[in-house]
Amino acid sequence: MMQLIPAIDIIEGRCVRLKKGDFASVTVYDYEPDDLVATFYRSGLTQIHCVDLDGARKRCPVNLSALKKMVASAPVKIEWGGGITSSADIHTILSLGAERIVAGSAAATDTELVKNWLREFGPDKIVVGADIRDFKIAVHGWSDTSDWNLNDFLAFWLKEGAKYFLCTDISRDGLLKGPAVDLYKQLKKQFPEAFLIASGGVSCYDDLVELEKAGVDAAIIGKAFYEGKISLNEMQTFIAHAS
């Protein structure tokens, strides 16, 4: 059963979406993050993916007051990323009620640091972010590209004990042109032990069906929901079908 995880991206406490990670292409939506969490929960969606975009730019957590409100609004499991650079950041975010954090840039730029996080917090609390541009791992809000290629990156972190991987195809993010199904199928074949969370490009119900067929463990739904391409009813239908 593939899990559905709605995404909430936050700038200055507001729900937004970027196009291909470009901060110059911001769409602001008329939703309060905590109200959205409650709405998702009432629809049977119990996991939420949140990105503190201010934090990603400033390289430190910023929208923690929004996290606190979201946690208070419904008993959901929140996956939180953006600007996390220290164990202290993780302690703060988990203490506010997040279920786990996303180690994005740090996993590519400071492997010893993230190894320590895995030892300190355990693999159930750390999601390794694999943001891909031309099969390389992008960092720092996707503004830079590292020397890591995707396969080596996943193999390295699986060996280090990581369990969850959030794989985002930047070229498809926010474009509603369909996810990289073939890529995810290849990754699940090569790394069947990885819990693979697919992100980027989901545009309709059929995309979810194709991702499930590819063996993906969970799928992020972002702009498709905000632009009315996938409704809450369709997400509920998928959950009922998958279960």
CATH code of the domain covering residue 138? 3.20.20.70
Q: Indicate whether 126 pLDDT > 80.
A: yes
- Mean pLDDT score, 15-32: 84
Query: 69 CB contacts (<8 Å, ≥6 apart)?
Result: 33, 34
Domain span at residue 74?
3-242
Question: Mean pLDDT, the chain, as a whole number?
Answer: 93
Structure tokens at 171: 């070229």
Instruction: Please report which confidence band the pLDDT of residue 19 belongs to, taking 50, 70 and 90 as the band edges.
Output: confident
What gap in Å lies between CA 230 and CA 227, rounded to an integer? 8
In the set 9, 52, 54, 173, the catalytic residue is 9
Neighbours of 102 (CB within 10 A): 24
The question of whether 207 is a catalytic residue gets the answer no
Question: Which whole-number Å values give the CA distances from 213 to 64, 94, 162, 163, in the listed order?
Answer: 36, 33, 24, 21
* pLDDT on residue 219: 98
Residue 3's beta-bridge partner residues? 218
Q: Characterize 83-101 residue by residue with b for buried, 16 or more Cβ atoms within 10 angstroms of its Cβ, and e for exposed.
A: bbbeeebbebbeebbbbbb
237 neighbors 216 (Cβ within 8 angstroms): no
pLDDT in tens, 32-61: 999 999 999 999 999 999 999 999 888 899
Catalytic residue check, 131: yes
pLDDT at 20 over 70: no
Closest CA to 236 of 80, 102, 74, 41: 41
The structure tokens listed for 66 are 């929004």
Pair 234, 198: CB distance under 8 Å: no
Cα dihedral 7, 105, 84, 79 in deg (nearest 10): 30
Q: Hey, what are 13's tokens?
A: 């406490």
Query: What confidence tens digit (pLDDT) does each residue in 171-218 have?
Result: 766 667 899 999 999 999 999 999 999 998 899 999 999 999 999 999
Q: Which of 34, 52, 54, 131 is catalytic?
A: 131
Number of domains in the chain: 1
